[in-house]
Homo-oligomer: A and B are copies of this chain.
Amino acid sequence: MPHRADSLDTIQRELTAFARRARAAAAQLHPELSLVSYTLLAHLQDQQGCRATDLAAHYLLDKSTVSRQVAALERLGFVERRTDPQDQRVQVLHLTDRGTAVLDQVAASRRTAFEERLADWDEDDLARFASYLLRYNASGSARD
């Protein structure tokens, strides 16, 4: 059984290695939708629509960045803005049918990739790995 320090080093090294490859790998997997766009759309689906400010807060992005990303997604016809009648400043973002379709398709292909990659893991290991990741991400969500 390795020492605490060894495990910490491994975790650091492996997470870093993963982060280093993630963007390129995602771009390769579906040129249609960058990693960022994908997560934004996924969040919209998850939340049944939300404001640009919420996206920025959730993903630690500048509001200008989100503004441009959303503009691009709108240009592609994947999201639409609905001005909140209660507050004219607010534009609630929603997935369009086309956005939903693209997101579902990309999610499916990502899903397939993960399935292949994790094909030889047994159910218990998958469950534990998932719970560790949840626990890791939940701690200090503003860091790493």
Contact = CB atoms under 8 A, between A and B. Distances in A.
Interface of A: 1-4, 6-26, 28-29, 35-36, 38-39, 42, 59-61, 110-111, 113-118, 121, 123-137, 139-140, 142-144
Contacts of A127: 1-2, 7
A139 B117 contact: yes
B1 A16 contact: no
Contact of A14 (B137, B143, B144): B137
A22 B15 contact: yes
A113 B12 CA distance: 10
A61 to B, nearest CB: 8
Nearest to A2: B127
